[in-house]
């Protein structure tokens, strides 16, 4: 099975293409991917909503290109498109800033937004085939940005390879990359996974965090045992020695904690992803503010998925019920899903985020940073459930 099929979009490097209308973003995307991914037209504003294209490029690996609408769009619809481009910034790991001349005041404004989010920028001067004085334009751009732009003709597919090389040069240092398990496991460890197959489990398959965790455990040569909650006792009895670690669905945290061998460490898929995708220290601090909530407090629950709500849904039903049982029935709870995360968080006393398996880490950390900047505590599903079960200080979080 190819890497393109194996790698979820949330695990791919996200490369955003930004620029004015008709700067050749879509043509450049087609040239980079060597496919007719995006519609190309001389009519300004052809690209409306961002186009996401998953690819695998030599030297870069699995990645997602994001072709955005021109940030000089106009009118009511244009403003909506610009909002979508702003949201694309939140997901971007590396930005390609595309211009066709040295009149780049708007590009510089957007580059400052990208810099504020610590996103590396590659400046590209496109349409070299029709520029009258490319060298003068390049020099002017360098003077304004401090970076020599790459000279490209997307239409003629010229100058494409240096872009790939620049992307490769600006990729995150692999030594700084985190893994799901970190140093929690080593080769030969027996790891038990407790995975309830209830109404929320997709029929005939496992949810993404379970799949990714199992894959990493196998890659790291661990011995993996899986069971549902009702078979936990039988599975433990079948083992000659206790497992080094149990990873459970957060919804049955307390049940598994009460049955696990004393020497066995315990964590959950959601807690693992809280550390893998977000800021686990901030999430723990956020969970510890739950006791300060009152019935006049307001909580925001944020889901990455946009699935139809199910009976006993963890984010929409179970966590709100647990919170109201602890705090009081008057506790206000708002729920958002997908990209519908408010910019203004000032009305909330706590944000509880899902494990965010569908988002890339950059996107999650941007939400965390937004919460920090507005001084709003933030936590996640698994950390919240562990806290409410009274076992947050007893589960394994750090390596």
- Other beta carbons within 10 angstroms of residue 158's beta carbon come to 13
At residue 175, the pLDDT reads 44
290 by DSSP, 3-state: which?
A: helix
At residue 314, the pLDDT reads 85
At residue 156, the pLDDT reads 94
At residue 2, the pLDDT reads 40
At residue 74, the pLDDT reads 82
At residue 240, the pLDDT reads 92
Tell me the sheet residues that pair with 301: 335, 352
Tell me the sheet residues that pair with 267: 247
Helix, strand, coil percentages (3-state) for the chain, rounded to 5, are 40, 20, 40
Domains in the chain (CATH in brackets) are 3-175 (3.40.50.300), 190-272 (3.40.50.11420), 281-388 (3.40.50.11410)
Nearest to 129 by CA among 162, 152, 106, 95: 152
d(CA 254, CA 266): 10
Helices (H), 117-243: 134-145, 160-170, 208-219, 232-238
Nearest to 304 by CA among 387, 367, 374: 367
Backbone angles phi, psi at 77, to 5 degrees: -65, -35
Q: Which residues of the chain register pLDDT less than 70? A: 1-7, 37-49, 173-177, 198-204, 306-312, 399
Q: Tell if the pTM clears 0.95, that is, is over it.
A: no
pLDDT tens readout for residues 97-136: 999 999 999 999 999 999 999 999 999 999 999 999 999 9
Q: Give exposure, 361-396, as e/b (b: 16+ Cβ within 10 Å).
A: bbbbbbbbbbbeeeebbbbbbbbbbbbbbebbeebb
């Amino acid at each position: 099975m190819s890497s393109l099929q194996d790698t979820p979009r949330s695990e791919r490097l996200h490369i955003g293409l930004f620029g004015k209308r008709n700067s050749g973003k879509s043509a450049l995307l087609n040239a980079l991917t060597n496919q007719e991914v995006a519609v190309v037209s001389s009519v300004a504003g052809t690209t409306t909503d961002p186009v996401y294209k998953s690819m695998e490029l030599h030297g870069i690996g699995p990645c997602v290109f994001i072709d955005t609408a021109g940030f000089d769009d106009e009118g009511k619809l244009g403003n909506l498109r610009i909002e979508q481009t702003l949201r694309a910034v939140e997901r971007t790991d590396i930005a390609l800033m595309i211009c066709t001349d040295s009149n780049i005041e708007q590009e510089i404004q957007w580059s400052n937004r990208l810099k504020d989010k610590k996103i590396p920028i590659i400046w590209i001067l496109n349409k070299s085939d029709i520029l009258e004085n490319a060298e003068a334009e390049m020099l002017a751009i360098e003077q304004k940005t401090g970076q020599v732009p790459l000279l490209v003709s997307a239409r003629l597919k010229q100058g494409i390879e240096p872009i790939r090389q620049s992307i490769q040069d600006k990729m995150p240092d692999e030594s700084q990359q985190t893994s799901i398990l970190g140093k929690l496991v080593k080769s030969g460890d027996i790891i038990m996974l407790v995975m309830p197959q209830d109404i929320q489990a997709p029929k005939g398959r496992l949810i993404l965090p379970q799949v990714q965790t199992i894959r990493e455990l196998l890659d790291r040569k661990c011995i993996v045992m899986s069971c549902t909650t009702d078979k936990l006792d039988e599975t433990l009895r079948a083992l000659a020695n206790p497992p080094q670690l149990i990873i459970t669905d957060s919804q049955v945290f307390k049940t598994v904690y009460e049955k696990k061998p004393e020497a066995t460490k315990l964590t959950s898929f959601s807690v693992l992803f809280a550390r893998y995708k977000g800021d686990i220290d901030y999430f723990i601090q956020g969970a510890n503010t739950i006791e300060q909530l009152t019935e006049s407090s307001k909580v925001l629950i944020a889901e990455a998925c946009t699935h139809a709500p199910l009976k006993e849904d963890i984010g929409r039903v179970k966590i709100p019920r647990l919170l109201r049982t602890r705090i009081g029935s008057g506790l206000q709870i708002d729920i958002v899903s997908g990209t519908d995360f408010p910019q203004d968080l000032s009305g909330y006393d706590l944000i509880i985020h899902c494990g965010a398996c569908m988002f890339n880490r950059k996107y999650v950390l941007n939400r965390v940073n937004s919460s920090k900047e507005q001084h709003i505590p933030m936590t996640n599903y698994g950390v919240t459930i562990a806290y409410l079960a009274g076992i947050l200080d007893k589960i394994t979080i750090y390596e």
